Amino acid sequence: MLGLLCAWAGIDPAGGADHPVRIVALGDSLTAGLGLPVNDSFPAKLQAALRAKGIAVEVANAGASGDTASRGLARLDWSVPEGTDAVIVELGANDMLLGIDPKLTRNALTEIVHRLRARHIPVLLAGMRAAPNLGAQYGREFESIYSDLGSEDGVLIYPFFLDGVAAQSNLNQRDGVHPTAEGVDHIVAGILPKVEELIARVRQIKP
């Protein structure tokens, strides 16, 4: 009961009052949790993992299946409402699968990052890798988007959102693209240190 009351009040039982950090996970079907129960989606499992560590946090699921980076940009303002403390951006996989010109993806992701920074919202950018069949040049142009944006001040980078999960049949659904609940657990475990760093940046801005 104490834990439930603490969760409602945004209190860390071990550390006293602590306003929850409000994070928006802005992404595509990998964020939305396509094919999974709501509680097995990436935002839900990330929130649970952080709370298990005593971190007061709310992670909103702003994933939309099929979204490209440009579509994510188009809905940015209403997907990231006022009061958001931090954003995890997971976009670009559909751009790659559709073979969209990396320049368009770069422009959209750059605009997303810059708009969020203009709002003083710390950003964690989750990178994506290109499929080998798209060719070496496409791969270089696509993957450099994330490393280049990650080099900007105020932007954290997690190089590959599907690290340790991509191409692992036991961690993906039948389509071979979307992770199972266990696959999401692997993603959360991998990205968790970066999310904690993101939260630390929020605490510096809003102690």
Residues 6+ apart with CB under 8 A from 9: 17
Tokens representing 31 are 């964020």
Q: Which residue do the tokens 């290109």 mark?
A: 130
Containing 126, the helix (H) or strand (E) segment is: strand 123-126
Please give the Cα distance from 89 to 48 (Å, whole number): 19
Please give the Cα distance from 43 to 144 (Å, whole number): 26
Residues known to be catalytic: 29, 175, 178
Residue 132's nearest CA partner among 120, 124, 140, 122 is 140
Beta bridge partners of 25: 61, 88
Helix locations, the chain, DSSP H: 2-9, 29-32, 42-52, 69-74, 76-79, 93-97, 102-118, 136-150, 181-205
